Structure 1
Amino acid sequence: MTVKRITGAAAAATMVLSLGAAIAAPTAAMAAPAPCGTATQVRETLPNGTVWDMCWRMQTGAGLILEKVTTATKRNPTPVQILDNIRLAQLNVPYDHGGVEYNDVTEYGLGGSFAQTIAGDDCKGGSAREGSDGENPLKKRKLLCVSAEPSGLAYRASGEDKVYSKLGHDLVLRSIAQIGWYEYVTEYRFHDDGTVSARLGATGDLANDFSKPDTGWPIGKGAKDYETNHFHTAFWRVDFNIDGKGGEKVEQYDTKTDGKDGETGQAILKTSKTDIAKEGSFTKTNQRWWRVASPTKNTDGHLRSYELVTGPSDVYEAHPEMKPDVTFTQNQTCEKYATDNTDPQCANRTTVLDYAKDKQDLKDPIMWVRVGFHHVPRDEDQSPMPLHWQGFDLSPRDFTAVNPLVPDGRTNVNGSGN
């Protein structure tokens, strides 16, 4: 059984994104141009004063690529770089009946002719930005939506005579690509507290691929049309460059009981650090997390770092390179994709497991994050299909000495001496 892939308008579906406050296109007076080269700058200030600055471009394979990402806040007005670049590095889509399997990034691509022009409600309330799709450099289209969106309650604390309460906002960048029946939304959310969320959304239409009850789910009337279950396994390639200094180190933290009880009879939990000095692949377990730490420090003398925060993920276990949650490798320019890498400079190195097997020292680490979604179709997926999301967060850890959104009245709260 095969899945019919349509790459033209026949498979198109309308996508509605609910956007918040509009962001106007930047003007030359806002800031000096970022070092974007042939890419395009996005520089925006959120309502509470957090500034995000970055370059964006489209690539025929990976689609939306963000580079030179920096942030600044009212309390910390000097821009500090977080990321050198971030992009999707693969989207593997196998169907449960075993008949077909696609690598949508390397076989098709999220840029080029597959990149959709932003139109209609795609960017309602936001600003649609023009750029090249990566395939036709002289032709500009509206390919990126930039918007500010309320993110809910950022914090709340009760003082002796005052309640400190603040709503947060996100700077949101979105692009859309159509591959076959699916429409994929690449989204990055830059929160006003410094958190970065990377997400991939899927909408469009079901693939019209039908199988048996044990590999599909009945849609339509009765129980005769079993739309095939399938996986979406997405990889991101993340290259940090915290404060523009490089030389980050990777650390793993595990919290476990030491088998002893405290004074009140409760278990004693101890957190230990493991330095990851060489390339390797790792899997999430209970109370385990990773951070990428810069040699630079915040004003408290603590290493600036970003922590990987993983969410729900269904692992596709048929291929070993799909199993690890995260892989850290030494930066190599030819290692472009997490799987199906065909760069001739990377002979015999086609997957993240190949990249890591040499166990090189991590002097300039690349983080490959894998997030899986097992799509078991339902009646409600017809049609257009409601967006479903998969992704992860990069959370600042000791990037600043205190909450970057700290209100007046709490600026002196820092450690036990205050």
Structure 2
Amino acid sequence: MSQINPHLQSQSLITPTKQLLLGMSSLILSLYADTAVLAEESCSADYTINAALPNGAIWNLCWEQTLQNGISLHHIAYQPKAGTQQAILYRAELAQVHVPYDDNGARYHDISDYGFGEKNLQALDEKLCPNGSLIKYYGKPILCQQILPRGEELRYQNQAVQGYKLSLFSISQIGSYNYVPRWEFFDNGTMEFAVGATGALQRFTTGSQSDLGWPISPEKIGVSHLHNFFWRLDFDLAGNGANDYIEEINFVREDQGLKAKHEILSLETGRDVNPATLRTWIVVDSALKNQANSPIAYEIQLYQSGQRDVGPEEEAFTKYDIYFTKAKECERFASRNANADVCAKDLSTYVNGESLQEDLIVWPSTSFYHIPRAEDSPNMNIHWSGIRLKPFDWHNSNPLASSIR
């Protein structure tokens, strides 16, 4: 973990408005105070985020700024409505933005080569963070914290429950691009991590090379390119990563129906999405169970896996959609790892047959193939790429269902 800066000036990081706080019960307020104390055990108050959502859920986490990753989050814990707090992630960060262009004129590794932090982190203001709180680093507002409605969460007959989420985002300028890493935490325990890309197109060619892109104006062709996003997730379910394991589930057609085939992945590996078997993965805690005697877990959903990039041999880290590796401090980036002299160089070499039984890292990825269009000029609309982490038997029942009973 990067060293926490003790000299940052104090500020309030609690974002719900007074109207939301007034609507909460005294029970929720007391639970909120308890989690605030727990957060400060892991980081100083200036780096603590405690958010009580309007319908009773509480998220508790720490943040830090680093040169290459930009904003990293750690010690992420969730408390459902009328439930108890449990730790989920020891650390979560964006681990690479790989951008190869179709003409092979550029193959960027934005996180490791340029970095999302320090001078590349853009200063935010109230217009960019409406109804939210701006969090500062050495006086520079770099992180927006908001409590946002997320629409109808569930409906039963003529009653419905509206959902809410904690949203955190920063903006990093890399070349002509503005990247917007966004971290969202829902009241039902779901997490969605995404990156938005906007700004301006960066590379162009001429009409004689039209097969390398798309015409955006007369005699001007925007070069098509990929954005390969990788995250590094260090799970510590219930506060202990040593007893977590990965289970892969495939649903195979047998006897006219689908039957679940379960496999525990005990060694480091890379795996692909497989639509034919509805493949999914869950991170499972081997010790803690819910009231139905099912182990608590989180499902990893690569819900934007419709596009793929398997690059040349020297970019073997693009071969799989998701990797599972043994936790090592020096294995920090999906590609161009800064510690290659004493550690492995990228995901393809992190996977070397080691056991996942001590502590594991999950490396989900998603790809977006950007075909330029006329509407991308002079500035392109923001396009989002992300992953979802969803509670799987984490609760004894739907934590929000009691609101309509």
Q: Is the 8 A contact 1:334 1:345 kept in 2?
A: no
For 2:382 and 2:283, locate their aligned partners in 1 and report how far apart those are by CA, in whole Å.
31
Q: How does 1:31-110 map to 2 (within 5 A)?
A: 31-32=36-37, 33-37=39-43, 40-76=47-83, 78-110=84-116
C-alpha distance 346-234 of structure 1, shift in aligned 2 (>3 A): farther
Q: How far is 1:307 from its partner? A: 0.3
Runs of 4+ in 1 over 6 A off after TM superposition: none
**2:397 is aligned with 1:402:** yes
Q: How does 1:11-22 map to 2 (within 5 A)?
A: none
CA separation in 2, counterparts of 1:80 and 1:385? 40
Match of 2:310 in 1: 317
Residue 235 of structure 1 aligns to a residue whose secondary structure is strand
Q: Could you tell me which residue of structure 1 aligns to residue 244 of structure 2?
A: 248
Q: CA offset at residue 284 of structure 1?
A: 0.6
User: Which residue number in structure 2 is paired with residue 15 of structure 1?
Assistant: none
Q: Secondary structure, in 3 states, of the residue corresponding to 2:127?
A: helix
SS of match in other structure, 1:407: helix
What is the CA–CA distance in structure 2 between the aligned matches of 1:219 and 1:187, rounded to whole Å?
29
Tell me the equivalent position of 2:262.
273
TM-score, length of structure 1 as denominator length: 0.84
Of 377-386 and 100-109, more deviation after overlay is shown by 377-386
Over the matched positions of the two proteins, sequence identity in percent amounts to 30
Q: 1:338 aligns with which of 334, 338, 345?
A: 334
1: distance between equivalents of 2:341 and 2:245? 26
Contact 1:23 1:146 in 2 (8 A): no
- Equivalent positions of 1:10-409 (< 5 A) are 23=16, 30=33, 31-32=36-37, 33-37=39-43, 40-76=47-83, 78-131=84-137, 139-158=138-157, 163-211=158-206, 212-220=209-217, 222=218, 224-246=219-241, 247-258=243-254, 260=255, 267-286=256-275, 287-295=278-286, 296-313=288-305, 314-318=307-311, 319-343=315-339, 346-347=342-343, 349-407=344-402
Task: Return the letter of the residue paired with 2:393.
Answer: D
Q: Which runs of 5+ in 1 are unaligned?
A: 1-21, 132-138, 261-266, 411-418
Q: Distance in 2 between matches of 1:254 and 1:362?
A: 22
* Displacement of 1:141: 1.3
**Residue 150 of structure 1 aligns to which amino acid in structure 2?**
P
Cα distance between partner residues in 2 of 1:62 and 1:48: 32
- Coordinate RMSD, CA, aligned: 2.0
Deviation at 1:236, TM superposition (A): 0.2
> Partners of 2:267 and 2:322 in 1: how far apart?
14
SS in structure 2 of the partner of residue 334 of structure 1: coil
Give the secondary structure class of the aligned counterpart of 2:104: coil
Give the number of aligned pairs.
Answer: 366
Unaligned 5+ segments in structure 2 are 1-14, 22-28
Amino acid of the structure 2 residue aligned with 1:85: R
8 Å CA contact retained: 1:255, 1:269: yes
Asked if the contact 1:306/1:396 (under 8 Å) is kept, the reply is: yes
Report the counterpart of residue 6 of structure 1 in structure 2: none
- Residues 97 and 229, structure 2, Cα contact 8 Å, conserved in 1: yes
Distance in 2 (CA, whole Å) between partners of 1:408 and 1:191 is 16
Query: Whose helix proportion is higher, 1 or 2?
Result: 2
Cα distance, 1:233 vs structure 2: 0.5
Task: Report the CA distance between 1:140 and its aligned residue.
Answer: 3.1
In structure 1, how many angstroms separate the alpha carbons of the residues matched to 2:285 and 2:202? 45
- When residues 24 and 105 of structure 1 are mapped into structure 2, their CA distance, relative to the original with a 3 A threshold, is farther
DSSP 3-state at the match of 1:320: helix
Q: Is the 8 A contact 2:190 2:390 kept in 1?
A: yes
Q: Read off the aligned partner of 1:213 and give its amino acid letter.
A: S
8 Å Cα contact 2:69-2:95 kept in structure 1 = yes
Distance 2:82 2:356 in 1: 37
Distance 1:229 1:299, change over 3 A: same
Paired amino acid for 1:352: L
SS where residue 320 of structure 2 aligns? coil
C-alpha deviation, 1:380, in angstroms: 1.2
| Partners of 1:407 and 1:332 in 2: CA distance | 42
TM-score, with structure 2 as normaliser: 0.86
**Aligned 8 A contact 2:91 2:234 in 1:** yes
Once the two structures are superposed, residues 3-34 of structure 1 have per-residue CA deviations (whole angstroms, 9 ceiling, x without a partner) of: xxxxxxxxxxxxxxxxxxx635999x943252
Q: Cα–Cα, structure 1 residues 361 and 42, in superposed 2: closer, same or farther, change >3 Å?
A: closer
Distance 1:383 1:271, change over 3 A: same
Mean Cα displacement is larger for which, 140-149 or 310-319? 310-319
